[in-house]
Chain A
Amino acid sequence: MPAIALALVAIACVVLWSDFVPAERDAANDLLTSPRVGLLVFFAVALAGVLAFVTYRITAPMVRSARQVAEEVQLTAHGNPEHRLSLSCAPPLRGVVKAVNDLAGIRSQLMAEHAAAATEAKAQVDEERKRLAALVAELDQSVLVCNRDGRVLLYNAATKALLGGAENGAASDLIGLGRSVFGIIDRAVIMHAVEAMEQQTARSTRESTHFVTTTRDGRLLRVHAAPVAGAADAAGGMPELSGYVLLLSDVTEDVDADAKRVALFQGLVETTRAALANIRAAIENLTEHPEMDAARRARFGTIIRDEAVGLSERLHRVTAEVTERLRARWPLEEMRGEDLLTLARRRIERRAGLPTKLEAVDSELWLRVDSFSLAQGLSYVARRLKDEFQVREVRFRLAASGGHAQLDIVWQGPPLSSETAFAWQSEPFTSAGEESALTLTEVIERHAGEMWYQRDVPAQVAYFRFLLPLAGEHAVLRSRSALPSRPEFYDFDLFRHLPATDALDHRLLTDLAFTVFDTETTGLRPSGGDEIIAIGAVRIVNERLLQGETFESLIDPGRGLPESAVAVHGITPEALRGAPTIDKVLPRFHRFAAESVLVGHNAAFDMRFLQLKEAQTGVRFEQPVLDTLLLSAVVHPEQDLHGLEDIAARLGVAVIGRHTALGDALLTAEAFLRMIPLLAEQGIRTLGEARAASKKTYYARLEY
């Protein structure tokens, strides 16, 4: 600044000088050369200097302060939203700073509210998902939810049980989150149903689609498909089909039974017709030709009698067969004992017109019964008591006894002979006005129960006592015991549509399905004759370890097992006796691992064994492979130890169940899951990046 001022003065001087006429220049010369002028100039310059200094002292802090404020505003805006500007700035800026701080405060508050609302919404959605999953898990009905591409988003234990009926659990291996439903149900059939559902969605009708299809093991499934509509598109048009719900039921037995029923009926009709034809033709011959000789007449008489007898016998056989079918197919249901008695009393009062009463009844008892035939049976007994012994009232008692419920139908009156009691048990209900041809003996047999007639002489009463099964706790728990932690049956994130054409290398590690596996072997030399004796595996889908979707099998190696190997994994030759051989197990494992990335600890070792078996088993594992040993070296390059237990300890994974194939696979899977975020910190997010990084590590250069 002072330099500029000096320059300006100098320029002014030069300009002035050049403007002077000669007389003026002389006068100026005189003036400038006079000693007082020098003094004057000095004072002038000094004054200018002082003025400049003072101005600088006043404005410089202002400028610096403004810069600081700007920096701080940047920080608040883009870095730390909670940062507030310092008030120790130049006084004229304080007003601005306060205003900025107010603004930042309002912004922070808005952000906090926004975040809270988002968290709440997410929690709500999670809650609803969990509720839905829990609900579906409890259903006896087998449920399968798929996205548009046929990936399984949700299934329940009933589905697993339904598909698990196949030999070796082969079909049950095929069911899993993120797996394709086409592995279970024929693709063409599903696509047909999807088309039908799309048309319905387009017409906005809501009928459901039914079809029957066969499973690979030849069972018949009836499938009820219902569409899941996505959000309506931006133009407000029809919502697209985003997936579908399949309800499965195994109708093999039903269809079989139906077919048998039809055949039975058909047979009955045909044989009856033939017999009737014979009888009718014979009778018509007799009546229309009265002149017939005695021998012929006798011959036709015999025909009629034989045919009539044959017809009766056939009807009897068919009736017996139908009854047998009914017995076989009648399901037992769980029912409160008191409700059963209410049912029976109503029937007795209405049909037999006999008053009933309850004596001691344990209202807490739950039975496992075929309530309809039991009520019929009780009503039958009451009816016979009334008709044959003029009994005027029956009473009921119900109590637990041992592992059974004992149900008594009690009356006052003359004693029954044991013959009568026996006859009542073995005569069909139809003999006392009931519709069913069942007998008490059959009904009791169906319940695996007992019944008998007894008298209580002091009390002057008689009763029939029925022992019936109680509804056991095992029945309630039965459907849930098999599989852990229900929420793993669903993964709605799979609804996000991932184009199938995306090369796996470009997919995020967090989006992929992994099969984490481990093997146990007879030794360490895959090419030296050592064999796999166990494979264990678990699936990871969308960053979740699916405890319910595991694979585990021992394998008969077809060779001896060295002591040293037994010492490592504890699998003895006895344990392997009767285990399937590798050519049975590998194809199953191959199906289990289909469409996923393989992960193993020191996977090269296991892969070598698998590769050596390719020719023998006919299966090739062509999917990408990740090795946690290599990834550990990527994540922690400065560490020397990358053993499974070392990395587990480092990553904070509890070590349990080591040295079983499944135990190690689970441990590896946990460790792998914890590596994914650590890899992301290094910018390794996709499968391709993880594979490239693995290759670069020192360990990757080792040959196995």
Chain B
Amino acid sequence: MAKRILIADDEPNIVTSLEFLMEQAGYETKVATNGQEALDLAASFRPDLVLLDIMFPAKSGYEVCQRLKGEPATRSIKVVIVSAKGRDVEVAKALELGADAYIAKPFSTRELVAKVRELLGNP
């Protein structure tokens, strides 16, 4: 069975690309467009990995990450932050909150796919 990836980003233009990329790489995807939806889908869709943006209007990616990593049920879900925030303090914060990887925008699609593969093993 294909591994599942949840794409949580509120910008449709990046979501389109990420969806395409992940499907091409052989993963099953679902999209959340805000933090709450990401948490809900994490519970129902049960993804193996989340590509998570930080900047959401209400519930930030930091918070989503912290919640996922704080719950025993969701702790095993890998979290990859994909964010336009790139200052070292922001990277440090995300990793402290439990993120497994931090990819700053703009990024190389190949590297992103490689990072996802590395974290999930082959699909």
* A285 & B104 in contact (Cβ 8 Å cutoff): no
A478 on the interface (CB 8 Å rule)?
A: no
* A307 & B13 in contact (Cβ 8 Å cutoff): yes
* A280 & B84 in contact (Cβ 8 Å cutoff): no
**Nearest Cβ on chain A to B40's Cβ, whole angstroms:** 24
Q: How far is the CA of A270 from the CA of B106 in the complex (A)?
A: 10
**Nearest Cβ on chain A to B10's Cβ, whole angstroms:** 10
* B86 & A300 in contact (Cβ 8 Å cutoff): no
**Nearest Cβ on chain A to B13's Cβ, whole angstroms:** 4
B67 on the interface (CB 8 Å rule)?
A: no
Most buried by A among B11, B17, B82, B107: B17
Q: How far is the CA of A284 from the CA of B113 in the complex (A)?
A: 12
Query: Which B residues between 56 and 113 are near A, CB-CB below 8 angstroms?
Result: 82, 84-86, 104-110
Query: Which A residues between 183 and 215 are near B, CB-CB below 8 angstroms?
Result: none
* A279 & B106 in contact (Cβ 8 Å cutoff): yes
Can you list, as one digit per residue, whether each of A268-281 has a CB less than 8 Å from chain B (1) or not (0)?
01111110111111
Residues from chain A with a CB closer than 8 A to the CB of B86 are 269-270, 273
* B106 & A282 in contact (Cβ 8 Å cutoff): no
A359 on the interface (CB 8 Å rule)?
A: no
* B13 & A306 in contact (Cβ 8 Å cutoff): yes
Query: Which B residues between 30 and 77 are near A, CB-CB below 8 angstroms?
Result: 55
* B16 & A284 in contact (Cβ 8 Å cutoff): no
**Nearest Cβ on chain B to A180's Cβ, whole angstroms:** 41
Query: Which A residues between 154 and 190 are near B, CB-CB below 8 angstroms?
Result: none
* B106 & A277 in contact (Cβ 8 Å cutoff): yes
* A273 & B14 in contact (Cβ 8 Å cutoff): no
The one of B11, B82, B108 that contacts A284, using a Cβ cutoff of 8 Å: B108
Q: How far is the CA of A61 from the CA of B16 in the complex (A)?
A: 135
Can you list, as one digit per residue, whether each of B110-122 has a CB less than 8 Å from chain A (1) or not (0)?
1000000000000
A285-B109 CB under 8 A given contacts A273-B104, A278-B11, A300-B16? yes
- Interface residues of B toward A: which range? 20 to 34
* B107 & A277 in contact (Cβ 8 Å cutoff): yes
* A303 & B109 in contact (Cβ 8 Å cutoff): no
Which residue of chain A has its CB nearest to the CB of B24?
A289
* A274 & B14 in contact (Cβ 8 Å cutoff): yes
A296 on the interface (CB 8 Å rule)?
A: yes
A574 on the interface (CB 8 Å rule)?
A: no
**Nearest Cβ on chain A to B92's Cβ, whole angstroms:** 17
Residues from chain B with a CB closer than 8 A to the CB of A233 are none
A276-B105 CB under 8 A given contacts A271-B84, A289-B24? yes
* B84 & A274 in contact (Cβ 8 Å cutoff): yes
A281-B84 CB under 8 A given contacts A273-B104, A299-B16, A300-B17? no
Which residue of chain A has its CB nearest to the CB of B17?
A281
Q: How far is the CA of A303 from the CA of B18 in the complex (A)?
A: 13
* B106 & A276 in contact (Cβ 8 Å cutoff): yes
Residues from chain A with a CB closer than 8 A to the CB of B106 are 273, 276-277, 279-281
Residues from chain B with a CB closer than 8 A to the CB of A276 are 105-106
* A273 & B21 in contact (Cβ 8 Å cutoff): no
**Nearest Cβ on chain A to B21's Cβ, whole angstroms:** 6
Q: How far is the CA of A270 from the CA of B82 in the complex (A)?
A: 12
A456 on the interface (CB 8 Å rule)?
A: no
The one of B13, B82, B84 that contacts A303, using a Cβ cutoff of 8 Å: B13
* A303 & B105 in contact (Cβ 8 Å cutoff): no
Residues from chain B with a CB closer than 8 A to the CB of A289 are 20, 24
Q: How far is the CA of A307 from the CA of B17 in the complex (A)?
A: 13
Which residue of chain A has its CB nearest to the CB of B85?
A270
Which residue of chain B has its CB nearest to the CB of A272?
B84
A288 on the interface (CB 8 Å rule)?
A: yes
Which residue of chain A has its CB nearest to the CB of B103?
A277
Residues from chain B with a CB closer than 8 A to the CB of A270 are 55, 84-86
Query: Which A residues between 242 and 282 are near B, CB-CB below 8 angstroms?
Result: 269-274, 276-282
Most buried by A among B13, B55, B82, B108: B13
**Nearest Cβ on chain B to A308's Cβ, whole angstroms:** 11
Which residue of chain A has its CB nearest to the CB of B104?
A273
* A303 & B16 in contact (Cβ 8 Å cutoff): yes
* B18 & A281 in contact (Cβ 8 Å cutoff): yes
* B110 & A273 in contact (Cβ 8 Å cutoff): no
Q: How far is the CA of A299 from the CA of B17 in the complex (A)?
A: 10
* A278 & B13 in contact (Cβ 8 Å cutoff): yes
A285-B17 CB under 8 A given contacts A273-B106, A279-B106, A280-B106? yes
Which residue of chain B has its CB nearest to the CB of A279?
B106
Which residue of chain B has its CB nearest to the CB of A303?
B13
Which residue of chain B has its CB nearest to the CB of A270?
B84
Which residue of chain A has its CB nearest to the CB of B87?
A266
* A280 & B109 in contact (Cβ 8 Å cutoff): yes
The one of A272, A277, A280, A296 that contacts B20, using a Cβ cutoff of 8 Å: A296
Residues from chain B with a CB closer than 8 A to the CB of A269 are 84, 86
Query: Which A residues between 334 and 373 are near B, CB-CB below 8 angstroms?
Result: none
Q: How far is the CA of A271 from the CA of B16 in the complex (A)?
A: 18
Q: How far is the CA of A281 from the CA of B14 in the complex (A)?
A: 7
Residues from chain B with a CB closer than 8 A to the CB of A274 are 11, 14, 84, 105
**Nearest Cβ on chain B to A284's Cβ, whole angstroms:** 4
* B85 & A284 in contact (Cβ 8 Å cutoff): no
Which residue of chain B has its CB nearest to the CB of A292?
B20
Q: How far is the CA of A277 from the CA of B107 in the complex (A)?
A: 6
Q: How far is the CA of A274 from the CA of B54 in the complex (A)?
A: 11
Most buried by B among A271, A277, A282, A300: A277
**Nearest Cβ on chain B to A280's Cβ, whole angstroms:** 5
Q: How far is the CA of A548 from the CA of B24 in the complex (A)?
A: 81
Nearest first, the 10 A-B pairs at minimum CB distance are A277-B105, A281-B17, A276-B106, A273-B84, A277-B106, A274-B84, A284-B109, A278-B13, A270-B84, A273-B105
Q: List 16 extra interface pairs beyond A274-B84, A276-B105, A280-B107, CB under 8 A.
A: A269-B86, A271-B84, A272-B84, A273-B105, A274-B105, A278-B11, A278-B17, A280-B109, A281-B14, A282-B17, A284-B109, A285-B20, A289-B20, A296-B20, A299-B16, A303-B16
Could you name 21 residue pairs across A and B whose Cβ atoms are closer than 8 Å? A269-B86, A272-B84, A273-B84, A273-B104, A274-B105, A276-B106, A277-B14, A277-B107, A278-B13, A279-B106, A280-B107, A281-B17, A281-B18, A281-B106, A285-B24, A288-B110, A289-B20, A289-B24, A303-B17, A306-B13, A307-B13
